[in-house]
Amino acid sequence: MAAEHPAYPVGLRLTGRRTVVLGGGQVAQRRLPALIAAGADITLISPSATPSVEAMADAGELTWHRRTYADGDLAEAWYALIATSDPTANAAASAEAERHRVWCVRSDDADAATAWTPATGHSEGVTVAVLTTEAKGRDPRRTAAIRDAVVAGLRDGTLVAPHHRTRTPGVALVGGGPGDPDLITVRGRRLLAEADVVIADRLGPRDLLNELPPHVEVIDAAKIPYGRFMAQEAINNALIEHAKQGKSVVRLKGGDPFVFGRGMEEAQALAEAGIPCTVVPGISSSISVPGAAGIPVTHRGVAHEFTVVSGHVAPDDERSLVDWAALARLRGTLVILMGVDKIGRIAETLTAHGKPGDTPVALVQEGTTAAQRRVDATLATVAEAVRSHEVRPPAVIVIGEVAGMNPAPPA
């Protein structure tokens, strides 16, 4: 029977209700997780099953009868998924479904089915379900593409549904990643799109700020006047003041908020002021910037550890908390952030404590942005390389054998 009318969309509440699945192949494998998530009381009838379906049965998520379909299997069912590889069995089962008035989906013949499975996706408590209007016009790839577009838009905030959105109260400390706007997390991007106020650092995905709607107040953290306060205190105060006005505030930081990002100081100040705070992790430059320049921070048989160190104070500075002598003894990779100014003193100290002068060093400036560049040196030559190549912050410095690796396999 050709479907001349559009299907009537509905959400089935299958919790505890008998649901019969015929066939344990790829179709069942794809559909079963949603039925399990819905709490359906699932009976699978199939002589065989894929390893994933078998695992669901082993885990007690469904009851599996290892046999072919027999008339009467759909009795008492609320819903049936007919997906065996035998068209005759499928036809017999859907005839039984019709007789018993059980809504049934057929994987082999949408026209003969009494129900269709929409392409579904979820975002923040909403299920998006996309159905083609008629059996003849069914185009599963298109419905899946529409579902993907809607879900992706809701997740990353490019599709804004402001009226019914539950806004995140307080402040979100969002790790923005190393700079490329594509390298922020989906959650970070969504919170950014929902924000009333964004307080941003110099590092991180600045390009994303241009995409924000005009009503969003964007504040450059470096330009907050701090008068009698320290700069960080002034930022904390600004976060608190805006949040107290009931605004959704995003503190957008470079990389990850808790990797040399002073994120915990902000979280503590907000907690003291009684303001809710969520932390959204970000991709730290310490891993991603070397990676963007083709340097793996670990490699099998070469480096079994990597250590991320701040180089903002020189090794002989009394404020330094770093045990450079111990680092010189490690075989793995050393990743130094904020170390461009002090790299000469750092290299001397590492060498003095036994790290060979010919250890490879790579400096990656403005990684993941259009201005990214890489300068290669050794511990012995790095100070001069920084001067002659005019390496400037922000840069990540990688010290260790991995900095000398080439992606081309050995000839």
Ligand X SMILES: C[S@@+](CC[C@H](N)C(=O)[O-])C[C@H]1O[C@@H](n2cnc3c(N)ncnc32)[C@H](O)[C@@H]1O
Which residues form the interface with ligand X (CB under 6 A)? 178-179, 203, 254-256, 259-261, 284-286, 289, 337-338, 364, 366-369, 393-396
Contact 184, 158 (CB under 8 A): no
* CB of 94 or CB of 185, closer to ligand X: 185
Instruction: Go through 40-54 and write b for each residue having 16 or more CB atoms within 10 A of its CB, e for each that does not.
Output: bbbbbbbeebeeebe
Minimum distance between the CB of residue 251 and ligand X, rounded to whole angstroms?
12
Nearest residue to ligand X, scored by beta-carbon proximity: 255
Nearer to ligand X, 6 or 294 (CB): 294
Report the residue number, 170 or 281, with the smaller CB distance to ligand X: 281
Nearer to ligand X, 178 or 332 (CB): 178
CB of 352 to ligand X, least distance (A): 23
Q: Classify burial at 311, counting beta carbons within 10 Å of its beta carbon; exposed 0-12, middle 13-18, buried 19 or more.
A: buried
Q: CB–CB of 302/401 below 8 Å?
A: yes
Nearest distance from C-beta of residue 74 to ligand X, angstroms: 56
Least Å distance, CB 356 to ligand X, is 24
Helix 263-272 to helix 231-244 angle (10° resolution) is: 50
Question: In the complex, what is the shortest distance from the CB of residue 103 to ligand X, in angstroms, rounded to a whole number?
Answer: 51
Cα–Cα distances (Å) from 64 to 48, 81, 102, 244, in that order, read 10, 14, 20, 56
- Using CB atoms within 10 A of its CB, is residue 90 exposed (0-12), middle (13-18) or buried (19+)? buried
The tokens describing 70, both together, are 């027999």
Which of 180, 201, 253, 342 does the annotation list as catalytic? 201
Nearest to ligand X of 24, 281 (CB atom): 281
Q: What angle do CA 374, 376, 381 make, to 5 degrees?
A: 140
Count the alpha carbons within 13 Å of 84 in the hemisphere toward its beta carbon: 23
What spatial distance separates the first Cα and last Cα of the chain, rounded to whole Å? 64
201 included as an active-site residue: yes
- Is the CA virtual torsion 22, 28, 31, 33 positive or negative? positive
The DSSP code sequence of 6-75 is PP-------BT-EEEEE--SHHHHHHHHHHHHTTBEEEEE-S---HHHHHHHHTTSSEEE-S---TTTTT
The values of phi and psi at residue 239, to 5°, are: -60, -45
Nearest to 251 by CA among 259, 228, 261: 261
What is the C-alpha to C-alpha distance for residues 30 and 191, in angstroms, rounded to an integer?
31
Residue 74's nearest CA partner among 102, 54, 35 is 102
2 or 371: whose CB is closer to ligand X?
371
User: For 182, which DSSP code?
Assistant: G
CB of 153 to ligand X, least distance (A): 27
Closest approach of ligand X to the CB of residue 227, in Å: 23
Residue 117 or 284 with smaller CB distance to ligand X: 284
Query: Which are the catalytic amino acids?
Result: 201, 223
